[in-house]
Structure 1
Amino acid sequence: MAEMGLRERKRQRMYQDVSDIAVRLFMERGFDAVSVAEIAAAAAISKPTLFRYFPAKEDLVLHRFADHEDEAARVVADEAKPLAALRRHFLDGLERCDPITGLNDHPQVLAFHSLLYGTPALVARLYGYLERSEAALAEALGGGLDARLAAGQIVAVQRILAQDNFRRIVDGESVEEVRPDAVAAAERAFELLAAGMPHFA
């Protein structure tokens, strides 16, 4: 059992290391200007090995979202008031300046977001991540049409809130300038969700 744990840790470390190398190269030169062969060479692995870990070039970037894919589903698990739990979680993220909320002005975070949203292939691939996130949340909310509709709205609201925060940071405002409006916008958004979906509130 300990051996399996060690193997899994090594595998996760490999994912992280290769993704970090790829993202660094993409941010330096642009996504389209870096080949998979160059990334494999920089990571000292073969192309077939790289593709075993990352089936598509875009996955080298989106790996950073892997932990967040079922985050909303984990937050609402066993919660009697799922929307209240998601609201608390998002507000906590704003307080921590979690990059997923868009409220983070660290240069590396800004560069990563610019890479992601400035590359059409990555934006297109991101929709797959959002669909899987919605599906996991819908399942956690009990499944069925109502749960799928609710999950779609919740994921969209969180995406819009994060993008609005990110745009303001990119335009030169500081985290502290944006934070009060970000908190107010999140409160208002979850108020509207609760009003429209009282059975999940």
Structure 2
Amino acid sequence: MIEPTGLRARKKARTHDTIADTAISLFLAHGFDAVSVADIAAAAEVSKPTLFRYFATKEDLVLHRFADHGGEAARVVRDRGPDVTPLTALHQHFRAGLDRYDPVTGLNDHPEVLAFHRLVFTTPSLAGRVTQYLLDDEKALADVLGSGITARLQAAQVLAVQRVLAQTNWQKLADGRTARDVHPEAVADADQAFAQLRSGTDGTADPA
């Protein structure tokens, strides 16, 4: 009997989530380097080949959450209103993320989110992969802004600003402050950062 397509998709999604959740729980409890892929597969009750069908590398078990945001800056610019500059659209998007305490902005003090960020930022192999995600996002954003050097520089600057803002927010929370307490500072920092970006550009990139 052939399973309906919808049922197969739901079963695959459940397996994916089970493996990822199991891996992150083990990493948070014991450290990334101390946990093997075999440990994760055994705890998730799947075989190693099955695990690798869902996640190509050990790092992907953690960083698939970042992959969910891949190309986000490019989408924001591409979908902006006709009278909205790229920088304004990106600024508004980041501010909206702060207001809803989106983990990607670093402004989320849920214990599991804080522990997850600590795991990523303090594990060299994970931090290195995050850098690759940022480089991919940088290229996607530059392609939307234009093809010249101005577009590439602006994309690099925007993503560097967002990374610094997120890590600054996370560090304040890691030091024991609450997200609600840090929120006004995070908003002010974002406004200042995008104002500095805007002072060096009019929000457009060279078309050539």
Q: Scaled by the length of structure 1, what TM-score is found?
A: 0.92
1:169 aligns with 2:170: no
Contact 2:16 2:54 in 1 (8 A): yes
Shift in Å, 1:9? 4.9
Matches within 5 A, 1:48-197: 48-79=49-80, 80=82, 81-197=85-201
Unaligned runs of 5+ in 2: none
- 2: CA distance, partners of 1:62 / 1:122: 8
Q: Which one-letter code corresponds to 2:49 in the other structure?
A: P
Where is the helix percentage greater, Structure 1 or Structure 2? Answer: 1
Aligned pair in 2 of structure 1 residues 137, 114: CA closer, same or farther (>3 Å)? same
- 1: CA distance, partners of 2:196 / 2:11: 44
Identical-residue share of aligned pairs (%)? 57
Choose 1 or 2 for highest CA Rg. Answer: 2
Aligned pair in 2 of structure 1 residues 177, 199: CA closer, same or farther (>3 Å)? closer
Aligned pair in 2 of structure 1 residues 199, 178: CA closer, same or farther (>3 Å)? closer
Q: Which one-letter code corresponds to 1:47 in the other structure?
A: K
2:177 aligns to what SS in structure 1?
coil
Q: Scaled by the length of structure 2, what TM-score is found?
A: 0.89
Aligned pair in 2 of structure 1 residues 194, 9: CA closer, same or farther (>3 Å)? farther
Q: Which one-letter code corresponds to 2:107 in the other structure?
A: L
- 1: CA distance, partners of 2:75 / 2:10: 22
1:32 aligns to what SS in structure 2?
coil
Q: How many residues align?
A: 199
Q: Which one-letter code corresponds to 2:16 in the other structure?
A: Y
Unaligned runs of 5+ in 1: none
Aligned pair in 2 of structure 1 residues 112, 199: CA closer, same or farther (>3 Å)? closer
